[in-house]
Amino acid sequence: MRSNPIVAIIGGTIWGNRGAEAMLVTTIGMIRREFPQAQILIYSYYPSRDCQLVSDPSIKIYDARPLTLALKYFPLALIASLLQLIGISIPLPQALSRLREANVLLDIGGITFADGRAVFLLFNTFTILPAMLLRVPVIKLSQAMGPFRTTLNRILAGYFLRRCEHIFARGAITAAHLQDLGLENQKWTQAADIAMLYESAFSLSTENTEKVQDLMQKLDNAKKEGKNIIALSPSTLVMKKSQKADNRYTDIFLNLIKQYGDKDTHFVFLPNASREGTIKTRNNDILVIQEIRRISQEYLEENLQEVVEWVDYDINSAAVRAIIEQADLLLTSRFHAMIAGLALCTPAAVIGWSHKYRETLADFSMEELTIDYSSPDTNLEVILDTLFKTRFEYADQIRSHLVQVRKSSCVQFDYVKEFLTCVKN
């Protein structure tokens, strides 16, 4: 048995989506607890920036951008696989050569093979196909999947999910979708989100430390003055979806400030996906925060503008958690900002678009706090007012479920530990 397995991880990054970062560093941290000498290979869709942020010499970062996966790794892995059938082993680029040596590929994509996300289906396929061609076992750690009603998604999901070593469904809704797909029960297990086990000690990067410290001091001063703190974590993705519907997304946040701004309340906008220095919208909530800030200068009275802090720069998961921990309430459209709130017992209302929010909140019996951005009859003000008035009861409710939810998340790492322990040298 080996004490230093080679573990490849795909579907997460350090930079950009901080939910992906939380899952990635937690996966690495949990593996290292059992296998301190494990070699970690990260296949990142932001490889250059991640290489700049991570200095740990035992972690190697390789390119996993969509075009690289589809046009380079897939054809080379296919050729290598076919030649292997006749006993010929060909040299491969380092990224593929190391993948071929790996004992397992852990796919930590947050949501994969889901209807309504046709543009991502090929990416979901190519993240795992090269490993399968190279005969590397694939384990899908806790993630949302399905539904599988559209023909293309059902075909792709049915083919590739059956060829995974094991799959972890993030909640009961995903589990039901896997059953509907006809996946054998022994092929999958339900497990809570990876990031439920996140610890700041797992962090692999430092970003804008001084700015974060200054912000934390401001929030601490507000708390000492007896003010409540509401954390607001919007999403460029949901804003785009809203613009196609009723275009009232930014108003939701500004109306909240008008509603509570004169009630000894302080607000902080923070991104749970940030790519400072770029105008690209994907995985970059800095842009929506800047847009809300621009509108607020015309929409809010000066005294209300003074009770708002704006985080329009890169922060990692450790900083995201530190800010949310200071908050009494969280309103977010980011799944892993919601996870951070739950893990820290900070009650959260979610303006979302997928079953992934609802099935996780169901673990805490809090499904009523999921708000569909496109629903015209949702009375958001009533929901938020109820949450604000009963936040202490909700915090107690979260605590009563949290131990069991964390145990559920541990199930997937128990499986990985057993799998790697059985791998021969």
- Tokens representing 140 are 């899908």
Rounded to an integer, what distance in angstroms lies between the CA atom of residue 400 and that of residue 378? 28
Tell me if 305 is assigned to some domain: yes
Residue 298 has pLDDT above 70, yes or no: yes
pLDDT of residue 425: 47
Domain assignment of residue 185, given as a range: 6-199+406-421
Averaged pLDDT score across all residues of the chain: 93
Tell me if 159 is assigned to some domain: yes
Angle 25-27-30 from CA coordinates, rounded to 5°: 105
The pLDDT confidence band at residue 356, using thresholds 50, 70 and 90, is confident
373 plus 416 within the same structural domain:
no
pTM of the model: 0.95
Whether omega for the bond prior to residue 66 falls within 30 degrees of 0, making it cis, is no
106 plus 227 within the same structural domain:
no
259 plus 376 within the same structural domain:
yes
Residue 266's Cβ-side half-sphere holds a number of Cα atoms within 13 Å equal to: 21
193 plus 238 within the same structural domain:
no
Task: Count helices and strands (H / E) in the chain.
Answer: 19, 16
- Tokens representing 381 are 């003000």
Computed on alpha carbons and rounded to an integer, the radius of gyration of the chain in Å comes to: 22
The pLDDT confidence band at residue 246, using thresholds 50, 70 and 90, is low
pLDDT of residue 375: 66
Tell me if 57 is assigned to some domain: yes
pLDDT in tens, 81-135: 999 999 999 999 999 999 999 999 999 999 999 998 888 999 999 999 999 999 9
Tell me if 17 is assigned to some domain: yes
- Tokens representing 41 are 């290979």
152 plus 292 within the same structural domain:
no
Residue 243 has pLDDT above 80, yes or no: no
187 plus 298 within the same structural domain:
no
249 plus 349 within the same structural domain:
yes
- The SS3 of residue 144 is strand
220 plus 169 within the same structural domain:
no
Q: What's the number of domains the chain is made of? A: 2
Length of the chain, in residues = 425
Range in 37-41, 254-258, 335-339 with the lowest mean pLDDT: 254-258
Supply the CATH number for residue 341's domain.
3.40.50.2000
Rounded to an integer, what distance in angstroms lies between the CA atom of residue 425 and that of residue 421? 10
Tell me if 1 is assigned to some domain: no
Q: Tell me which residue has tokens 């993240």.
A: 127
Tell me what the mean pLDDT of segment 17-28 comes to: 98
187 plus 255 within the same structural domain:
no
For residues 380 and 312, which has the higher predicted lDDT (pLDDT)?
312
For residues 16 and 299, which has the higher predicted lDDT (pLDDT)?
16
Tell me if 184 is assigned to some domain: yes
pLDDT in tens, 265-294: 999 999 999 999 999 999 999 999 999 999
192 plus 336 within the same structural domain:
no
Would strands 188-190 and 138-145 be described as parallel, antiparallel, or unpaired? unpaired
For residues 202 and 352, which has the higher predicted lDDT (pLDDT)?
202
- Tokens representing 294 are 């621009």
Tell me if 84 is assigned to some domain: yes
185 plus 228 within the same structural domain:
no
pLDDT of residue 1: 44
Q: Taken in order 232, 236, 237, 243, is the CA torsion positive or negative?
A: positive
Please check whether residue 312 is in contact with residue 268, taking contact to mean a CB–CB distance below 8 angstroms: no
192 plus 218 within the same structural domain:
no
pLDDT in tens, 213-226: 999 999 999 999 99
Q: Nearest to residue 30, comparing CAs of 123, 85, 121, 106?
A: 106
pLDDT in tens, 148-163: 999 999 999 999 999 9
- Tokens representing 263 are 């009630």
